[in-house]
Amino acid sequence: MDVLRAFLISTGLATALAALCLTVLYRPFRTLLAELCASESHGRFWHAFAWIAVLLTTLLAAFLQTRDPELWGGSEAVRIALSAFRSGLLGLLLALGAVALALLVSIGQRPRGDTRA
């Protein structure tokens, strides 16, 4: 088996495991978020947000292990492509974190009892 195929299989398995964990926790996690957010629509948003964040973090962690250029037979094109993809994943996770922070700050500034979306 070549290195790229092994990498893709292992990354796919890690992502599938993360998705399986999220699937098992789907209903209780969604219910908990709806209660914490005091609104079903807010709970649905944060539930979807958490799913995306967990899956992207799993992918980023898998791609962080691909830094060794010798692993890819010294292929400069593969190394650059993986580096760009890693950077893109990190940027996306940082953007999601910024959105979450902005939402949490705005929710915290809302008067108590105000559950408008």
Q: What is the tens place of the pLDDT at every residue in 53-93?
A: 988 898 888 888 776 656 666 677 777 777 788 888 898 99
Which of 10, 89, 105 lies closest to 54, judged by CA?
A: 89
Domain ranges of the chain: 3-109
E strand or H helix at 85, and its extent? helix 76-109
DSSP state of 110: S
The residue length of the chain stands at: 117
Against a cut of 0.85, is the pTM above it? no
Q: Which residue has the higher pLDDT, 105 or 73?
A: 105
What's the token pair of residue 63?
């791609």
The confidence score (pLDDT) of residue 114 equals 56
